[in-house]
Amino acid sequence: MDPLLVLTIGQAPRPDLETELGDVLGPNQPIEVRGALDGLTVDEIRGLGPINDADALHCHLPGGDDVIISKKDVTTRIGALLEADPGRPTVVACTGRFVGLPAAANVIYPSAVLRATVDAVLPTGNRLGVLVPIPEQIDSFVDYWNEPGRPATVRSVKPGTDPTEAAGELAAAGVDLTVLDCFGYDRDLRSRVREITGRPVLVASRCTAQVAGELLA
């Protein structure tokens, strides 16, 4: 069975991503992770800072460091990885919307999967809740997710941290569905957000894995 290629905006290895994807794909599906920042030191990565809030991406490194990096720089590096190994089923493991990457067959962008899923299951007249990793992303994600008749409430919480406060604010806003709009969010955070809001929760990695499983079948 051919491995699913997973391109992270940070560095390999990412056993956390493999765990989330493998939970959906099953234990027999091999996964190969490559990173846009592979081979760089932490100091070199910190030098790839964003030029403004719209250019900011949150990145968790295998050594435990959390860094904020430039989407523009990551886009160039992810593009090179896609060109190096075309044709195979590939997941770009980030929910950011990347301008300039190829719309190639078998390449899955989680942002497109999440958007299509929300549009399919949450009609107008309902409120969408969204969690993102860093406060710098809130305004741009409000602009992205807001639709006429389907307003979005967006809050931030880093992957692996306590979502109680942010999820409580979503519950107070009366959301009908919550999107965990970061590939680093896991099922434990999903369970906690679902418990607090009392409403369904979509996780980017798990939604994407469902689509990848169909391509690999």
Taking every pair of Cα atoms in the chain, the longest distance, rounded to a whole number of angstroms, is 48
In this prediction, residue 192 carries a pLDDT of 98
Digitized pLDDT (tens) for each residue of the chain, 217 residues in all: 789 999 999 999 999 999 999 999 999 999 999 999 999 999 999 999 999 988 999 998 988 888 999 999 999 999 999 998 888 899 999 999 898 887 788 899 999 999 999 999 999 999 999 999 999 999 999 999 999 999 999 999 999 999 999 999 999 999 999 999 999 999 999 999 999 999 999 999 999 999 999 989 8
Burial of 39 (C-beta count, 10 Å sphere; 0-12/13-18/19+): exposed
**Which residues, including other chains, have CB under 8 Å from residue 124's CB and lie 6 or more apart?**
147, 148, 149, 150
97/95 Cα distance (integer angstroms): 7
What is the residue type of 5? L
Alpha-helical runs (H) found in 26-137: 42-46, 71-84, 110-121
Q: Supply the pTM of this predicted model.
A: 0.92
Q: Write out the E strands in 61-181.
A: 66-70, 90-93, 107-108, 128-132, 152-156, 177-180
Residue ranges of the domains in the chain?
Answer: 4-109+206-216, 112-203
In this prediction, residue 157 carries a pLDDT of 97
What class does CATH assign to 112-203? Answer: alpha beta
In this prediction, residue 103 carries a pLDDT of 76
Please say whether the beta carbons of 55 and 72 come within 8 A.
Answer: yes
What is the residue type of 85? D
| Token couple for 92 | 């770009």
